[in-house]
């Protein structure tokens, strides 16, 4: 086997690695790598239309993760609570539209995770800087809890905390790399989860950040 061919096969194998965490939860390692340039270009398009911002929790804390939405609905948090809103409260205008390459990636990943026909109407974009974290929480602000959530990791790696159905349940650590895509649905949909503080680094696409896209059916 020539060294070139060997490297190629290693890469292919990396891209095909599928990790079933539990019923309803699958990690498609490297699934988004092939489209990274198009996805990143689309991300820059969205961020040129509206800025990342640090939302305030209902308890009055500034979130360390900066957020932005695209699509028909966006997740927002303020002193009044959490909600999905068709209007960006910062601009008073609709959120930037969801790029086609985002939509295709989310549909394809959902189908690979055995959720055919996923039609997300919301995409939350999380931007982590070094030290930024997401404490253990459930995603339950969506109306359609039957629909899965598809999440796409880009840029710097992070450690994902994957818990159980109760906050006290023990959580396991799952490393997430650039291009990894997770599909969560069915019995895994309401599991607690979080992200440990991001470590410093440099990535060829995102520089000093980690970006996570989560595709949801909000309504």
Residues 6+ apart with CB under 8 A from 163: 136, 169, 170, 171, 191, 192, 193, 194
Give me the long-range contacts of 74-80 (CB less than 8 A, separation at least 24).
74/122, 74/124, 75/122, 75/124, 75/141, 75/216, 75/218
Nearest to ligand MD3 of 2, 170 (CB atom): 170
Scanning 6-14, 34-42, 62-70, 139-147 for contacts with Fe ion by CB under 5 A, the matching segment is 139-147
The CB-nearest residue to Fe ion is 139
191 contact, one of ligand MD3, Fe ion, none, CB 5-8 Å limit per kind: ligand MD3
Pick out residues in 92-111 that bind ligand MD3 (CB under 6 A): none
| Least spacing, CB of residue 24 vs ligand MD3, in Å | 9
Q: What distance in Å separates the CA atoms of residue 12 and residue 17, rounded to the nearest whole number?
A: 9
| Least spacing, CB of residue 101 vs ligand MD3, in Å | 19
3-state secondary structure (DSSP) of residue 200: coil
Nearest to ligand MD3 of 29, 191 (CB atom): 191
| Least spacing, CB of residue 150 vs ligand MD3, in Å | 8
Phi-psi group of 139: left, alpha or beta (phi > 0 → left; psi -120 to 50 → alpha; rest → beta): beta
206 near ligand MD3 (CB under 6 A): no
Scanning 27-35, 100-108, 184-192, 197-205 for contacts with ligand MD3 by CB under 6 A, the matching segment is 184-192
Q: What is the DSSP letter of 204?
A: T
139 near Fe ion (CB under 5 A): yes
- Cβ–Cβ < 8 Å for 63, 54: yes
Scanning 29-37, 101-109, 188-196, 201-209 for contacts with ligand MD3 by CB under 6 A, the matching segment is 188-196
SS percent in the chain: helix, strand, coil, step 5: 20, 35, 45
Which residues bind to ligand MD3, rule: CB under 6 A?
Answer: 124, 126, 134, 139, 149, 151, 182, 184, 188-189, 191, 193, 195, 212, 214
């Amino acid at each position: 086997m020539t060294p070139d061919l060997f490297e190629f096969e290693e890469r292919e194998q990396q891209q095909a690695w599928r990790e079933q965490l539990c019923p309803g939860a699958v990690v498609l390692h490297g699934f988004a790598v092939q489209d990274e340039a198009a996805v990143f270009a689309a991300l820059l398009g969205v961020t040129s239309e509206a800025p990342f911002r640090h939302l305030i929790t209902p308890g009055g804390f500034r979130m360390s993760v900066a957020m932005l939405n695209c699509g028909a609905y966006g997740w927002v948090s303020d002193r009044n609570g959490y909600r999905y809103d068709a209007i960006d409260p910062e601009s008073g205008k609709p959120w930037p539209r969801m790029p086609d390459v985002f939509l295709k990636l989310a549909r394809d990943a959902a189908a690979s995770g055995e959720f055919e026909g996923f039609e997300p109407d919301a995409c939350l974009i999380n931007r982590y800087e070094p030290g930024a974290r997401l404490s253990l929480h459930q995603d339950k602000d969506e109306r359609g809890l039957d629909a899965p959530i598809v999440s796409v990791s880009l840029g710097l790696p992070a450690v994902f905390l994957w818990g159980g159905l109760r906050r006290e349940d023990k959580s396991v650590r799952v490393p997430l790399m650039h291009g990894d895509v997770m599909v969560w649905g069915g019995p895994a949909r309401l599991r607690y989860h979080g992200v440990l503080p991001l470590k410093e680094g440099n990535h060829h696409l995102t520089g000093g950040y980690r970006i996570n896209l989560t595709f949801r059916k909000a309504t």
